[in-house]
Amino acid sequence: MFAIQRAVLALAAVLALAGCQEDPFKPDQAPEGEARFTYSGDLSGEFVAVGRLNRRNPNAGTWAIGDLQQVGGSGVLGVFAQQRSGLVVSGLVLEWRGAQVGSVTCDESTPNCPFVLDVLLAVQNTTGSNQRSYEGRVGTVTVTSLTEDRAVGTFTATLTRDVATPGPDTPTLQVSGSFDVSLELTD
């Protein structure tokens, strides 16, 4: 349940940030971003979010955007993506404390891993759709380019399904993907 709440709250936070901006110098549409990954294990498939966040209606459409915050002298990179098909929504939230160009790898024995990856996948079946939530800190995140206005990188991770999320007995998901997102800078 915690992973679902965390993913939903993180996505809601970026949506609120994006939707509440009244800066007359910012256009309604953020620059185009892209986040994509393949997944296998509990489910298999591909997540692709390529598009522009509409700041006036952030719940609409498919988009990817980043956020770079300065916290205690170190950058916290957030990558957020939404894939929408009608009422069915899947999402990605990647957060890396101390983000910089380079890689960070964590395994089960890594204390205080600086990144976390949350994935919310919509599952279509004969009774309709439901969502499965996954979270993990086991894997590698690489940032190949980090500028004031853009972040580019890759990630691979093993995620664990939230126990409150329905699904088969195999509660893990292997993900491998990339991101290229514009950054919203916040203090």
Give the pair of three-digit tokens for residue 167: 């699904």
Q: Do 95 and 116 form a contact (C-beta atoms < 8 A)?
A: yes
pLDDT for 59 equals: 80
pLDDT for 102 equals: 95
Per-run averaged pLDDT (10 residues), the chain, 187 residues: 41 44 57 91 89 83 88 82 81 92 94 93 70 91 93 95 67 93 77
Give the pair of three-digit tokens for residue 150: 């853009």
pLDDT for 184 equals: 79
Which ranges of the chain would DSSP assign to H, the alpha helix?
2-20
Residue at 146: amino acid letter: L
Q: Do 160 and 138 form a contact (C-beta atoms < 8 A)?
A: no
| Spatial distance between the Cα atoms of 94 and 115, rounded to a whole number of angstroms | 7
Write the Ramachandran bin of 73: left for phi over 0, alpha for psi from -120 to 50, otherwise beta: left
Reported pTM:
0.81
| Spatial distance between the Cα atoms of 141 and 177, rounded to a whole number of angstroms | 10
pLDDT for 55 equals: 77
Other CB atoms within 10 A of residue 69 CB: 17
